Each structure stands twice: as structure tokens, then as C-alpha cells.
Amino acid sequence: MKMLVVLGEDIFERALEAAHASGTTVGAGTTGLGAPLTDDVRRWIDEVWDATEAALLKARREGRQAAAELVQKVDALLKQAAVELVDRCKAVKDAITDRLSDYITSVIDAALLRVRPALSIGGREMLVSSVTIEQRLMLSGSVKASLEEIVEFIAEGELTLSAEYGLPRA
């Protein structure tokens, strides 16, 4: 059974909150211990993430084209950070990438929670036996390219959930 799952604004707000909480140490989201970020790196992460959040919100509310200028702003900020931070800019990119990953994971997890665990048909309860997810989301090493993909997914994308139900085995 294929189903349409409508995700409310609260889902996207919680996804932004989850994303904002990640990427706060060097090495966050990777194996090994993370080190505290320096103030200048943290400032750049905050500035780039603020622009990223604005792009995601704009895409959700007004569509992909409306968010395009904000995606360009994120790219420009990353280039400025690279000039100022030089080799430490990787920490900024890694933090933003971790946050984007956490954001999209949170949205997909919320969609999965909308799958009904059981259906009642003719007075008989059928339990979900499997769920299949179909999505097209290509993330890359480029923050800009990944953000463009996520913006497109949030604005116009489709996440198809197919669930199979069956009678419980006796």
C-alpha cells in the first residue's frame, strides 16, 4: 500500500532543532573524540548555519526558486570562511554537513513515524510487516550541492513510503 504522508511545520522545526544541536565539536559526526571549536570557527558555523536555516525555511514555505538566493549566500559565506580560516574551514564545512545530515534524517524519521502499525479491514487487524522507502537525494562533498538537493527535496520532493500489511501468524 503506497501512502501520502503530509508533514506539518512542526516536523521541520524539530528537524532544525536537532540539526542545530549537532556539529558543535571538531569531528562531530565522525568516529573518534571531538575537540572543542575555537571562537572564530564557532562564529562561522553559526553564521553559515543561520543562512542555511533561512534557505531551508524559505524552501519549505515558498519553494525552491525562492530559496536559491539564500543557497548562494551560504556558498558565499563558506568562501569567506575559507579565506579567513584557511585550513580550519574544514571544521565549518564538516559541522554544516553534519547538521544537514541530521536535518534530513530527522525529517525522514518523522515520516516513518506516520506509518500506521496496523489496519482494520472487515473487522480483522492486519499488522505492518515491512516498509519500503523510495527517495532520490544525492548528497555530495560540496555543502552547496548538498543544500541544493535538500532544498529541492523539502520544497518539491517526494518521499514514497510503501507498507505491506498481513494477518498476524497464529
- Assigned domain for 156 exists: yes
The number of domains in the chain is 1
Given a cut of 90, is residue 66 above it in pLDDT?
yes
User: Mean pLDDT of all residues in the chain?
Assistant: 86
**What pLDDT, in 10s, does the model give residues 71-92?**
999 999 999 999 999 988 999 9
Task: Tell me what pLDDT residue 76 has.
Answer: 97
| Whole-number Å distance between alpha carbons of 149 and 143 | 10
**What pLDDT, in 10s, does the model give residues 143-167?**
999 899 899 888 877 777 788 999 8
Task: Tell me what pLDDT residue 161 has.
Answer: 79
- Assigned domain for 128 exists: no
Percent of the chain at pLDDT above 90? 52
Given a cut of 70, is residue 27 above it in pLDDT?
no
Given a cut of 80, is residue 137 above it in pLDDT?
no
162 vs 17, higher pLDDT: 17
Task: Tell me what pLDDT residue 17 has.
Answer: 93
- Assigned domain for 6 exists: yes
Task: Tell me what pLDDT residue 32 has.
Answer: 44
- Assigned domain for 63 exists: yes
**What pLDDT, in 10s, does the model give residues 96-121?**
999 999 999 999 898 888 888 999 98
- Assigned domain for 125 exists: no
Q: Which domain holds residue 105?
A: 2-116+136-162
- Assigned domain for 7 exists: yes
- Assigned domain for 131 exists: no
- Assigned domain for 124 exists: no
In this structure, what are the phi and psi dihedrals at residue 169, rounded to the nearest 5 degrees? -75, 135
Task: Tell me what pLDDT residue 30 has.
Answer: 44
